[in-house]
Amino acid sequence: MAIRTILTQGDPVLNKTCHPVTKFDHKLAVLLDDLKETLTQANGVGLAAPQVGILRRAVVVVDGTGEMLELVNPEIIAQKGEQDGLEGCLSVPGMWGYVKRPQWVRVKAQDRNGSWFETEGEGLTARCFCHELAHLDGHLYTELTDHLYTTEELDQMMEEQEAARQEERE
Ligand code: ZN
């Protein structure tokens, strides 16, 4: 296993469409293990193969229970509702934006051996599935938000909101 370098916005690889995985071999297993290790080290909730420079349809996502899922050739097959929330990306470090996503999604994918399975997620997990799958088609969340905040701006905004809530209570 190895930690791979995460590409950042501006690298043209992040805007390319990834190819389906057709060989469920040792190379794929190594890629999935490396994605997991890289995601753990980066302390994120999702990572897609193109973010480490590999144009293959494979992602890893941390679900609501903290388990790390491997999704090969994933597709969203159903979705419900809508949520608006803050999103960030390991390829866009230090920036955050509000993005609308479905509240719940159902995903079909293959495991590292090629077996198909279905999984579902809501809230943050649904957001994460949508975000990671968009990477496979060369899309970043920054296309879906009208304003990007720096971490400092966000901290300040949270403080102001907290102060406003305090005032309401008094
Ligand atoms: Zn991302």
Quote the ligand 1 centre to 91 CA distance (angstroms): 6
CA distance linking residue 28 with residue 34, whole number of Å = 10
24 pLDDT more than 80: yes
| Ligand 1 center–CA 73 separation, angstroms | 17
Q: Could you tell me the distance, in angstroms and rounded to a whole number, from the CA of residue 128 to the centre of ligand 1?
A: 9
Residue 87 C-alpha to ligand 1 middle, in angstroms?
9
Residue of 132, 159, 160, 168 with catalytic role: 132
Our CA dihedral for 45, 136, 2, 109, rounded to 10 degrees, sits at 70
Give tens-digit pLDDT for 53-80.
999 999 999 998 999 999 999 999 999 9
Residue 10: φ, ψ to 5° = 110, -25
What average pLDDT does the chain have? 96
Q: How far is the CA of 108 from the centre of ligand 1 (A)?
A: 20
Determine contact, residues 133/91, Cβ cutoff 8 Å: no
Average pLDDT for 128-140: 98
- Mean of pLDDT values over 91-114: 97
Q: Is 132 a catalytic residue?
A: yes
Instruction: Evaluate if pTM is beyond 0.85.
Output: yes
